[in-house]
Structure 1
């Protein structure tokens, strides 16, 4: 059974380096969700067990009311009906989290985040792959299975910071450092050998840890023109599972 999102979030929350990079996240309840909607301009409601961006609901504050959206389905409702609209998109057998929404930075007009693929083929965690995940037009998730596509992470950072190589290098290093800390932290509690870490940058340049996936997919890396990362991932998989 994959490790639930909340368990991994709680492990990361214990680490003083990771804590400032974690968006507010709680179990979904009516009262907590209402409070967060009053605090933030958007929230995301996610299944505790789920991957590929499936089942994610976004609630966004509008000038009048709220937009509740799951995939291509959407409703515009007043605040007093927002919880009812959310629940109409939830699956009753799933437990859900509510997480602060972020105003993500964009690349060529689409939001993006980063996927860092970590593996432990021996005694140490290594970063086998690092890519930007660029959302399909008008999508609010970047996942490969929801139309997101891979781009060179360094190229995206270089563009984001207006060709400032020093800044792009610093962000690449920081994202890499945080990813390794995340893998080590979760691994202290759970016997994992692979981890996919999703890290975002908001419009103000702040780094956020969205989540960590204990059964990461690798198809994103097949989209990169350079096959080095996917070859490294597959090579390490053979070492891990032999």
Structure 2
């Protein structure tokens, strides 16, 4: 598991500086991040490193990360295929007419697609094609004066699409990014949330939706990810805090479980070897589910933070036959 321990936003370098900025600014940023690591690092973590994430507006973005001893999903050796490209997985879904109404409009990042998406939608997300953990995701919103981008708690204003594109393109560098229509999330007790649908194969090779749980967004963040300060809750607890009717909630649960199984069958038609998948599903304010992305190495360690760990152990019980033990 890789967790974001902290992020220093707004290390001002001046508009004429290069990526690393002046020596004094760079030294101050790095010193502050070393302090962050010293403050947060304890016996639960085995490694730490600093990542220069890029330049956005007139700020440098650095992150301090630590690797927990317990779990590292991409290197865990159980038998289940891994596909990292969000674009490839989105294309698989869009080839099946069943999923067209469940997938938000998504396109590769380029200038033409950015202009088109901003013409059509009030909110657009800029996300790495191969990213995970909610890292490096930027939300873009239209305003009366142009556009407002937000990465974590830092906001930057732009008066033109060209200015926005140039900044995003510089931030992306050589990395591939996607643009996705923003979904106005439903709220539970006033906080936005999305839903994780865990699907696993039985020993007989049939897909089963084994767990539903939610991720409650942290204030001033653009994603609900646990590693970005989000909180994990049970599906029923979260839904009981919404304005949806008591009869709607079990109907939604059944729909999400069917959706998970359908995604599993779809993925099997495109690639062999999947044993588990984790759907990230946004629920809009009308109660419609939207598949934001499908994880082929879904992390379950946040479930151990729940008082009742039945979901965690249920997933492990299904995972034993393909070698997942944590």
Instruction: Please give the per-residue CA displacement for 1:92-113, whole angstroms capped at 9, x wherever unaligned.
Output: 2321111111111111222100
Asked if the contact 2:84–2:296 (Cα under 8 Å) also holds between the matched residues in 1, the reply is: yes
Larger Rg: 2
Partner of 2:132, secondary structure, is coil
Out of 63, 78, 101, the residue aligned to residue 182 of structure 2 is 101
Provide the rounded CA distance (Å) in 2 between the counterparts of 1:116 and 1:20.
18
1:83 aligned partner = 165
| TM-score when normalising by structure 1 | 0.93
Asked if the contact 2:151–2:221 (Cα under 8 Å) also holds between the matched residues in 1, the reply is: no
Quote how far apart the aligned CAs of 1:22 are: 0.7
Partner of 1:160, secondary structure, is coil
1:10 aligned partner = 91
1:24-103 alignment to 2 at 5 Å? 24-79=105-160, 80-90=162-172, 92-103=173-184
1:47-196 alignment to 2 at 5 Å? 47-79=128-160, 80-90=162-172, 92-122=173-203, 123-162=205-244, 164-190=245-271, 191-196=273-278
1:220 aligned partner = 302
**Count of matched residue pairs:** 240
Using CA pairs under 8 Å that are at least 6 residues apart, name the structure with larger relative contact order, 1 or 2: 1
Name the structure where strand makes up a greater proportion of residues: 2
2:21 aligned partner = none
Quote how far apart the aligned CAs of 1:121 are: 4.0
Provide the rounded CA distance (Å) in 2 between the counterparts of 1:183 and 1:223.
27
Instruction: Please give the per-residue CA displacement for 1:171-212, whole angstroms capped at 9, x wherever unaligned.
Output: 111111111111111122122111110111112222211110
Partner of 1:188, secondary structure, is helix
Say yes or no: does 1:205 pair with 2:258. Answer: no
| TM-score when normalising by structure 2 | 0.70
